[in-house]
Protein backbone atom coordinates (compact mmCIF):
# COMPACT_ATOMS: atom_id res chain seq x y z
CA UNK A 1 0.00 0.00 0.00
CA UNK A 2 1.16 3.54 -0.72
CA UNK A 3 1.60 6.12 2.05
CA UNK A 4 -1.44 7.91 0.63
CA UNK A 5 -3.70 4.87 0.76
CA UNK A 6 -2.53 4.19 4.33
CA UNK A 7 -3.48 7.76 5.23
CA UNK A 8 -6.88 7.39 3.58
CA UNK A 9 -7.49 4.07 5.36
CA UNK A 10 -6.40 5.47 8.73
CA UNK A 11 -8.70 8.45 8.25
CA UNK A 12 -11.67 6.34 7.30
CA UNK A 13 -11.05 4.07 10.30
CA UNK A 14 -11.01 7.08 12.63
CA UNK A 15 -14.43 8.10 11.33
CA UNK A 16 -15.70 4.65 12.32
CA UNK A 17 -14.19 4.88 15.81
CA UNK A 18 -10.99 2.88 15.19
CA UNK A 19 -7.70 4.65 15.96
CA UNK A 20 -4.57 3.14 14.44
CA UNK A 21 -1.91 4.45 16.83
CA UNK A 22 1.03 3.22 14.83
CA UNK A 23 1.42 3.70 11.07
CA UNK A 24 2.17 0.07 10.38
CA UNK A 25 -0.75 -1.29 12.43
CA UNK A 26 -3.04 -1.14 9.39
CA UNK A 27 -0.61 -3.41 7.53
CA UNK A 28 0.08 -5.65 10.52
CA UNK A 29 -3.64 -6.32 10.88
CA UNK A 30 -3.74 -7.58 7.30
CA UNK A 31 -1.34 -10.43 8.19
CA UNK A 32 -3.29 -11.64 11.24
CA UNK A 33 -4.50 -15.28 11.38
CA UNK A 34 -6.04 -15.46 14.87
CA UNK A 35 -8.11 -12.94 16.86
CA UNK A 36 -8.01 -13.67 20.60
CA UNK A 37 -10.55 -11.89 22.81
CA UNK A 38 -10.36 -11.28 26.54
CA UNK A 39 -13.72 -12.31 28.07
CA UNK A 40 -14.61 -10.01 30.95
CA UNK A 41 -15.33 -6.46 29.84
CA UNK A 42 -14.48 -7.27 26.22
CA UNK A 43 -16.92 -9.98 25.04
CA UNK A 44 -19.10 -9.32 28.09
CA UNK A 45 -20.39 -6.02 29.44
CA UNK A 46 -17.98 -6.22 32.38
CA UNK A 47 -20.77 -5.35 34.80
CA UNK A 48 -21.67 -8.61 36.54
CA UNK A 49 -24.70 -8.87 38.83
CA UNK A 50 -25.22 -11.25 41.75
CA UNK A 51 -27.71 -13.94 40.67
CA UNK A 52 -27.46 -16.75 43.24
CA UNK A 53 -26.72 -17.33 46.92
CA UNK A 54 -26.69 -20.97 48.02
CA UNK A 55 -26.02 -21.24 51.76
CA UNK A 56 -24.60 -24.04 53.89
CA UNK A 57 -27.04 -25.51 56.42
CA UNK A 58 -27.22 -23.54 59.66
CA UNK A 59 -25.63 -20.33 58.43
CA UNK A 60 -27.48 -17.03 58.25
CA UNK A 61 -27.76 -15.31 54.88
CA UNK A 62 -27.23 -11.88 56.41
CA UNK A 63 -24.05 -12.90 58.26
CA UNK A 64 -22.53 -14.50 55.17
CA UNK A 65 -23.40 -11.62 52.84
CA UNK A 66 -22.13 -9.10 55.39
CA UNK A 67 -18.77 -10.88 55.69
CA UNK A 68 -18.42 -11.40 51.94
CA UNK A 69 -19.46 -7.81 51.15
CA UNK A 70 -16.99 -6.59 53.79
CA UNK A 71 -14.13 -8.23 51.90
CA UNK A 72 -15.42 -7.31 48.47
CA UNK A 73 -15.85 -3.65 49.42
CA UNK A 74 -12.03 -3.58 49.61
CA UNK A 75 -11.54 -5.25 46.21
CA UNK A 76 -11.52 -3.55 42.82
CA UNK A 77 -12.62 -6.62 40.87
CA UNK A 78 -15.91 -6.29 38.88
CA UNK A 79 -17.19 -9.38 40.76
CA UNK A 80 -16.67 -7.48 44.00
CA UNK A 81 -18.88 -4.62 42.91
CA UNK A 82 -21.67 -7.05 42.08
CA UNK A 83 -21.62 -8.53 45.58
CA UNK A 84 -21.34 -5.16 47.34
CA UNK A 85 -24.28 -3.62 45.50
CA UNK A 86 -26.45 -6.71 46.03
CA UNK A 87 -25.78 -6.61 49.79
CA UNK A 88 -26.48 -2.89 49.81
CA UNK A 89 -29.84 -3.25 48.08
CA UNK A 90 -30.78 -5.95 50.63
CA UNK A 91 -29.93 -3.47 53.40
CA UNK A 92 -27.00 -5.58 54.62
CA UNK A 93 -24.05 -3.58 55.95
CA UNK A 94 -20.56 -4.80 54.99
CA UNK A 95 -18.66 -6.24 57.97
CA UNK A 96 -15.42 -4.70 59.25
CA UNK A 97 -12.43 -6.57 57.83
CA UNK A 98 -8.83 -6.78 59.00
CA UNK A 99 -5.84 -8.20 57.12
CA UNK A 100 -7.56 -7.90 53.76
CA UNK A 101 -5.55 -9.47 50.94
CA UNK A 102 -6.33 -9.61 47.22
CA UNK A 103 -5.05 -12.73 45.44
CA UNK A 104 -5.14 -11.82 41.72
CA UNK A 105 -6.76 -14.56 39.64
CA UNK A 106 -7.94 -16.37 42.78
CA UNK A 107 -10.02 -14.22 45.12
CA UNK A 108 -9.80 -12.26 48.37
CA UNK A 109 -9.20 -13.06 52.04
CA UNK A 110 -9.43 -11.31 55.41
CA UNK A 111 -10.62 -11.63 58.98
CA UNK A 112 -14.12 -10.82 60.25
CA UNK A 113 -15.04 -11.12 63.97
CA UNK A 114 -12.06 -13.37 64.70
CA UNK A 115 -12.69 -15.73 61.78
CA UNK A 116 -10.80 -16.04 58.53
CA UNK A 117 -12.98 -15.43 55.47
CA UNK A 118 -11.98 -16.67 52.00
CA UNK A 119 -13.93 -15.67 48.88
CA UNK A 120 -13.08 -16.69 45.34
CA UNK A 121 -12.67 -19.40 42.74
CA UNK A 122 -12.76 -23.10 43.65
CA UNK A 123 -9.04 -23.31 42.93
CA UNK A 124 -8.49 -20.60 45.58
CA UNK A 125 -10.34 -22.48 48.33
CA UNK A 126 -8.64 -25.71 47.28
CA UNK A 127 -5.28 -24.00 47.51
CA UNK A 128 -6.15 -22.79 51.02
CA UNK A 129 -7.08 -26.31 52.11
CA UNK A 130 -10.87 -25.87 52.30
CA UNK A 131 -13.00 -28.87 51.28
CA UNK A 132 -15.66 -27.58 48.88
CA UNK A 133 -17.65 -30.82 49.02
CA UNK A 134 -21.21 -30.67 47.67
CA UNK A 135 -20.86 -26.98 46.84
CA UNK A 136 -18.71 -28.04 43.89
CA UNK A 137 -21.67 -29.55 42.04
CA UNK A 138 -23.82 -26.46 42.72
CA UNK A 139 -21.02 -24.30 41.40
CA UNK A 140 -20.64 -26.53 38.33
CA UNK A 141 -24.35 -26.23 37.54
CA UNK A 142 -24.13 -22.42 37.79
CA UNK A 143 -21.07 -22.39 35.55
CA UNK A 144 -22.93 -24.46 32.91
CA UNK A 145 -25.31 -21.50 32.66
CA UNK A 146 -22.44 -19.10 32.01
CA UNK A 147 -22.46 -17.73 35.56
CA UNK A 148 -19.28 -17.44 37.62
CA UNK A 149 -19.48 -19.34 40.92
CA UNK A 150 -17.85 -17.64 43.91
CA UNK A 151 -17.11 -19.84 46.91
CA UNK A 152 -17.10 -18.40 50.45
CA UNK A 153 -15.55 -20.08 53.50
CA UNK A 154 -15.76 -18.71 57.03
CA UNK A 155 -13.60 -20.04 59.85
CA UNK A 156 -12.32 -22.94 57.72
CA UNK A 157 -15.76 -24.19 56.59
CA UNK A 158 -17.79 -23.67 53.44
CA UNK A 159 -20.48 -21.04 54.10
CA UNK A 160 -21.94 -20.44 50.63
CA UNK A 161 -21.57 -20.55 46.91
CA UNK A 162 -22.65 -17.34 45.20
CA UNK A 163 -22.83 -16.66 41.48
CA UNK A 164 -22.51 -13.60 39.31
CA UNK A 165 -23.63 -13.23 35.72
CA UNK A 166 -22.03 -10.84 33.26
CA UNK A 167 -24.17 -10.52 30.13
CA UNK A 168 -22.47 -10.90 26.75
CA UNK A 169 -22.47 -7.80 24.57
CA UNK A 170 -25.10 -7.78 21.84
CA UNK A 171 -22.32 -6.97 19.38
CA UNK A 172 -20.20 -10.02 20.33
CA UNK A 173 -21.81 -12.87 18.35
CA UNK A 174 -22.21 -10.88 15.09
CA UNK A 175 -18.60 -9.65 15.33
CA UNK A 176 -17.26 -13.19 15.90
CA UNK A 177 -19.27 -14.49 12.92
CA UNK A 178 -18.04 -11.67 10.69
CA UNK A 179 -14.39 -12.26 11.66
CA UNK A 180 -14.79 -15.99 11.00
CA UNK A 181 -16.25 -15.26 7.58
CA UNK A 182 -13.15 -13.16 6.84
CA UNK A 183 -11.24 -16.43 7.34
CA UNK A 184 -9.91 -15.58 10.81
CA UNK A 185 -9.68 -18.04 13.69
CA UNK A 186 -11.34 -16.59 16.80
CA UNK A 187 -10.28 -17.50 20.35
CA UNK A 188 -11.05 -16.42 23.92
CA UNK A 189 -8.60 -16.04 26.83
CA UNK A 190 -9.90 -15.65 30.40
CA UNK A 191 -9.09 -16.11 34.06
CA UNK A 192 -12.61 -17.40 34.67
CA UNK A 193 -13.26 -21.11 35.21
CA UNK A 194 -13.43 -23.46 32.23
CA UNK A 195 -17.14 -24.33 32.37
CA UNK A 196 -18.26 -20.68 32.61
CA UNK A 197 -15.83 -19.69 29.87
CA UNK A 198 -17.11 -22.47 27.57
CA UNK A 199 -20.74 -21.48 28.15
CA UNK A 200 -20.01 -17.84 27.28
CA UNK A 201 -17.89 -18.86 24.29
CA UNK A 202 -20.77 -21.02 22.99
CA UNK A 203 -23.12 -18.01 23.25
CA UNK A 204 -20.86 -15.93 21.01
CA UNK A 205 -19.75 -18.69 18.61
CA UNK A 206 -16.16 -19.27 19.78
CA UNK A 207 -14.76 -22.85 19.96
CA UNK A 208 -11.21 -22.03 20.91
CA UNK A 209 -11.12 -21.32 24.67
CA UNK A 210 -8.16 -20.83 27.00
CA UNK A 211 -9.56 -20.55 30.55
CA UNK A 212 -8.29 -20.34 34.15
CA UNK A 213 -5.38 -18.24 32.97
CA UNK A 214 -3.73 -16.31 35.81
CA UNK A 215 -3.18 -12.58 35.14
CA UNK A 216 0.54 -13.23 34.54
CA UNK A 217 -0.30 -16.14 32.20
CA UNK A 218 -2.14 -14.21 29.48
CA UNK A 219 1.15 -13.52 27.69
CA UNK A 220 2.08 -17.23 27.70
CA UNK A 221 -1.43 -18.12 26.45
CA UNK A 222 -0.98 -15.71 23.55
CA UNK A 223 2.44 -17.09 22.76
CA UNK A 224 0.91 -20.57 22.65
CA UNK A 225 -1.63 -19.32 20.09
CA UNK A 226 1.18 -17.76 18.06
CA UNK A 227 2.99 -21.14 17.87
CA UNK A 228 5.83 -19.37 16.06
CA UNK A 229 4.02 -18.83 12.76
CA UNK A 230 0.46 -17.75 13.48
CA UNK A 231 0.00 -14.01 13.84
CA UNK A 232 -2.34 -13.10 16.66
CA UNK A 233 -4.35 -9.98 17.38
CA UNK A 234 -5.47 -9.63 21.01
CA UNK A 235 -8.55 -7.59 21.92
CA UNK A 236 -8.81 -6.52 25.57
CA UNK A 237 -10.27 -3.87 27.84
CA UNK A 238 -6.96 -3.50 29.64
CA UNK A 239 -7.93 -4.78 33.07
CA UNK A 240 -5.08 -7.25 33.72
CA UNK A 241 -4.21 -7.46 30.05
CA UNK A 242 -1.83 -4.62 29.13
CA UNK A 243 1.12 -7.09 28.84
CA UNK A 244 -0.93 -9.27 26.45
CA UNK A 245 -1.81 -6.20 24.35
CA UNK A 246 1.91 -5.43 24.11
CA UNK A 247 3.04 -8.98 23.19
CA UNK A 248 0.32 -9.63 20.57
CA UNK A 249 1.26 -9.07 16.93
CA UNK A 250 -1.51 -6.47 17.00
CA UNK A 251 -2.86 -5.24 20.34
CA UNK A 252 -6.40 -3.86 20.12
CA UNK A 253 -7.63 -2.01 23.22
CA UNK A 254 -11.09 -0.82 24.06
CA UNK A 255 -10.53 2.86 24.70
CA UNK A 256 -13.02 2.91 27.54
CA UNK A 257 -10.63 0.64 29.52
CA UNK A 258 -7.47 1.81 31.26
CA UNK A 259 -4.83 4.30 30.08
CA UNK A 260 -2.14 1.63 30.43
CA UNK A 261 -4.01 -0.48 27.89
CA UNK A 262 -4.23 2.37 25.41
CA UNK A 263 -0.46 2.90 25.70
CA UNK A 264 0.25 -0.81 25.16
CA UNK A 265 -2.05 -1.06 22.13
CA UNK A 266 -1.50 -0.64 18.38
CA UNK A 267 -5.18 -0.02 17.73
CA UNK A 268 -7.70 1.68 20.03
CA UNK A 269 -11.45 1.23 19.70
CA UNK A 270 -13.43 4.31 20.67
CA UNK A 271 -16.38 2.28 21.97
CA UNK A 272 -17.06 -1.15 23.44
CA UNK A 273 -19.06 -2.10 20.33
CA UNK A 274 -17.22 -5.12 18.88
CA UNK A 275 -18.42 -4.23 15.40
CA UNK A 276 -15.50 -1.80 15.41
CA UNK A 277 -13.09 -4.77 15.48
CA UNK A 278 -14.66 -5.97 12.24
CA UNK A 279 -14.37 -2.44 10.79
CA UNK A 280 -10.66 -2.43 11.65
CA UNK A 281 -10.06 -5.68 9.72
CA UNK A 282 -12.31 -4.57 6.90
CA UNK A 283 -10.47 -1.27 6.36
CA UNK A 284 -7.09 -2.94 6.69
CA UNK A 285 -8.06 -5.49 4.03
CA UNK A 286 -9.46 -2.88 1.63
CA UNK A 287 -6.43 -0.62 2.05
CA UNK A 288 -3.90 -3.39 1.50
CA UNK A 289 -5.78 -4.73 -1.52
CA UNK A 290 -6.21 -1.15 -2.77
CA UNK A 291 -10.00 -1.30 -2.86
CA UNK A 292 -11.80 1.94 -2.21
Active site residue 38: yes
By the rule CB under 6 A, 107 interacts with ligand ADP:
yes
Q: How many CB atoms lie within 10 A of CB 213?
A: 22
By the rule CB under 6 A, 243 interacts with ligand ADP:
no
Exactly one of 20, 25, 29, 40 binds Mg ion (CB under 5 A); which one?
40
CB of 7 to ligand ADP, least distance (A): 37
Q: How far apart are the first and last CA of the chain?
A: 12
* C-alpha triplet 80, 59, 104: angle, nearest 5°: 25
By the rule CB under 6 A, 264 interacts with ligand ADP:
no
| Selected range binding ligand ADP among 88-96, 139-147, 189-197, 271-279, rule: CB under 6 A | 189-197
CA distances from 181 to 22, 51, 185, 210 (A): 26, 35, 9, 22
Q: Are 199 and 145 in contact (CB under 8 A)?
A: yes
Round to whole Å and give the CA distance between 117 and 10.
52
| Selected range binding ligand ADP among 114-122, 135-143, 202-210, 283-291, rule: CB under 6 A | 114-122
DSSP state of 46: S
Round to whole Å and give the CA distance between 169 and 67.
31
The partner in contact with residue 237, picked from ligand ADP, Mg ion, none with C-beta cut-offs of 5 to 8 angstroms by kind, is: Mg ion
Nearer to ligand ADP, 9 or 257 (CB): 257
- How many residues bind to ligand ADP according to rule CB under 6 A? 21
- 3-class SS shares of the chain: helix, strand, coil, % to 5: 40, 25, 35
Q: Are 218 and 244 in contact (CB under 8 A)?
A: yes
Nearer to ligand ADP, 26 or 189 (CB): 189
Q: Which residues of this protein are in contact with Mg ion, per CB under 5 A?
A: 38, 40-41, 237, 239
Catalytic residues: 38
Q: Which residues of this protein are in contact with ligand ADP, per CB under 6 A?
A: 39-40, 72, 75, 77, 79-80, 105-108, 119-121, 148, 150, 190-192, 215, 240
Amino acid sequence: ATPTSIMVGTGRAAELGVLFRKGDALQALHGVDVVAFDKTGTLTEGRPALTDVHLAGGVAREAVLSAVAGLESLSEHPIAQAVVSAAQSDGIAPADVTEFTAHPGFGVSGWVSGKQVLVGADRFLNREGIAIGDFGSHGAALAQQGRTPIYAAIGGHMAAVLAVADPVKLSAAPAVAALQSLGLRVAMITGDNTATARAIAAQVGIDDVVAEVLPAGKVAALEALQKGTERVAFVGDGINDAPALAVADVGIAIGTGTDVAVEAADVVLMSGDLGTVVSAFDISGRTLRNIR
